[in-house]
Amino acid sequence: MIIAITGTPGTGKTSVCNALGLEFMDLNKVIAEKRFYTGVDTERGCLITDLDKLAEYVRRVYKEKRKEKKGGNLMLIESHLAHFLNPDVAIVLRANPLLLAERLKQRGLRFSAQKIRENMEAEMLDIILAEAVQRCGAVYEVDTSGKRIEEVASAVREIIDAETAGESRRKEALRDKYKPGSVDWFKIPNCKKVCS
C-alpha cells in the first residue's frame, strides 16, 4: 500500500513525517537527486518535475521493498506532488492560509512574496485536496492549524494504522472524521481577505 502525505507547502508534511518514526520517501529530494525534472521554473524558483519518471521510480522501489519484505506492505511518500502518483491513500495536510504565510516567510528567500501568495490562494481554494480526490481511492483531510506536530503525527499514524490493518469499522470512522471538505477557510475571520 502506498500512502501519500501531501498538501500545500508549509502545511507540515515533512515535520509530521519525521515525527511519525516511520520510513518515508521525500519526493522533493528524490526529484533533485535523481534529476527527475525537465527544467527550472525561474519565475517560481522551482524544478519542473517529470512525474512519469518519478512515478516509475516510486513503483519500482515499492516493488523491490515488497519483494525484500522490508517494512511490510507500506510505502509512505511525502511531497506537495505525492498525490499525482496515484497512491492508494492520500492524507492531505491543511493549514490556515494566514498561518501558512507566516511559515513560508520563515523559510526566507526560498519563498518570494508572489510565491507565498500563490500558495495561500491554493490553500484557500483547496487545490491539492481537489486534485487528490480526483486521483486517489481514499482521501483524508487533516487540519494542522494550531496543533503541535506530535498531535498531527498521532492523527496521521492512526489513519495509517487503520488503513494498513484493514479494520473496516475504524477505517470508516476515520474516513468520516477526516473526510474531504471538512476544512473551510472561508468560515474563519480574516481568511476571506486573502483572496480579495
Which of 143, 149, 146, 148 has the alpha carbon at shortest distance from 177?
A: 143
pLDDT of residue 144: 96
CATH number 3.10.180.10 given to 2-187? no
Whether 62 contacts 25, CB under 8 Å:
no
pLDDT at residue 46 greater than cutoff 70: yes
Quote the CA–CA distance of 169 and 176 in Å, as a whole number: 11
Q: How confident is the model at residue 70 (pLDDT cuts 50, 70, 90)?
A: low
Average pLDDT over residues 15-43: 94
CA distances 86 to 19, 101, 132, 141, 168, Å, are: 24, 28, 8, 16, 22
Q: What would the pLDDT profile of 152-184 be if each residue is shown by its tens digit? A: 999 999 999 999 997 799 999 999 999 999 998
Q: What would the pLDDT profile of 112-143 be if each residue is shown by its tens digit? A: 888 899 999 999 999 999 999 999 989 999 99
pLDDT of residue 191: 58
Question: What are residue 142's DSSP bridge partners?
Answer: 93
